[in-house]
Amino acid sequence: MTFLLTLLAAIFVLGPLIALHEWGHYIVARMCGVKVLTYSIGFGPKLFGWTSKKSGIDYRISALPLGGYVKMLDEREGNVAKDEQHLAFNYQHPLKKIAIVAAGPIMNFIIAIALFWVLFMTPSEQLATKIGQVLPDTPAAMAQLPVGDKIVAIDGHDVQTWEGINYRLAGRMGETDNVSITLQSDAQTNQSIKTYQAPVTQFMQGDAQGKDALTSFGMLPWQPQIAPIVGELAPDGAASRQGLQVGDRITAINNQNIDDWISATRIIRDNPEVLLDFTVLRDDKTVQLQIMPQGKKDNLGNNYGQIGAMVDQTEIVIPDAYKTTVVYGPGESLVKSFEKTEQLAVMTVSSMGKMLSGMIGLDNLSGPITIAKVAKQSFDISWQMVLSTAALISLSLAVLNLLPIPVLDGGHIVYHFIELIRGKPLSEGVQMVGLNIGLLLLAGFMVLAIGNDISRLF
């Protein structure tokens, strides 16, 4: 059932993005006077579809749901009657060819902007960007960032939400440098502004790989103070098997004092398959236990520890000082959606460059299995998360397709620019060599991405 739901979630999110990408090619081709023969969602054998009586276009859903295509009249793919040569793609001016090829990725950019626009216009109550905790032995601790101050900018870029902070920090992945953090000590005035320099070394790599950007950097939002008292135990969990009992109060883990549940959870999550020394208070007596967290994997394949212990459900009240309502008007939301799209596109390209240069590992590359799992998880959270996930995937599709690899849209655009400059297209031989190289590169990336996906499952 989980597999089926994951598949349906992936189809629901990816299907419209692929369909609209291909529709971009399709509609611009028709506007440019090129005859379209087939509009297909998916590759391979036709599952079902119909042929338009008016235009003769074959609209179809095909068996392999790994993309789609728009087939146009083209002498390179078959004979073209002399009276239809003006309708063939290969007879068009290079600028028309560029417009048709670029329309798909541009449509994905438009989708991302539109979805971000809807999300920015949706009022939401969020945690204020005040620092709730600074973790020891982290860049935030080395910079001596004060708890309670409000984060207003990262590296000179204004931030209003913890999501924005997380993206700005994630953009520094793999780098060794200083991160500028601008803080406001009094949320009511703009007079107490100070910028701190936090040193990072191979940020989010090494021992910090797998941790989110905020935890790696060491500054966290406000979190509730929940007493570290065990309220429930999973029968098959490590805690139950190794002696922890309901009602026990965890006072230390590996000689590190524990005064709230979240601190205990963080240590447990960061130490999968590591034997930890627990000190607990039971009936006013101190008890020493050794518990090894079971190793688990999240959707991105990151390892984390779990012992199967939970607290009793308690009502959490967020202090007013740590709450804020984020709301933007239509105009401001549109501006912010463009800004966010640009930021994430630049970050995506930068991450690809860092992988190729070795600054970050190739294991950060994700494939269709991870995308499907993330899509399913978004449905479990909220409709806003579904739209956000769709926007991020659409943006990734746009950037990926614009890479100058011959088999992708970006590679074809390069060919047509060369044709525009030379006054004639590259020879078929040169184009085929480029196509074969592109196919090998793309196949290599796909094998690596799917390999990463599979490794994350086990």
Question: Which residue matches tokens 């506007």?
Answer: 31
Give the helix, strand, coil percentages of the chain, each rounded to 5: 45, 20, 30
CA dist list (Å): 87 to 25, 30, 32, 84, 181: 15, 10, 9, 5, 57
Greatest extent of the chain over all pairs of C-alpha atoms, in Å: 95
Identify the CA nearest to 230 among candidates 248, 255, 206, 251: 248
Question: Which residue matches tokens 């002498």?
Answer: 75
In eight-state DSSP terms, residue 51 is E
Q: How far apart are CA 273 and CA 283, in angstroms?
A: 29
CA dist list (Å): 456 to 275, 334, 356, 369, 373: 23, 37, 21, 10, 11
CA dist list (Å): 363 to 337, 451, 454, 455: 29, 9, 11, 9
Other Cβ atoms within 10 Å of 150 Cβ, number: 19
- Name the residues annotated as catalytic: 22
Q: How far apart are CA 144 and CA 146, in angstroms?
A: 6
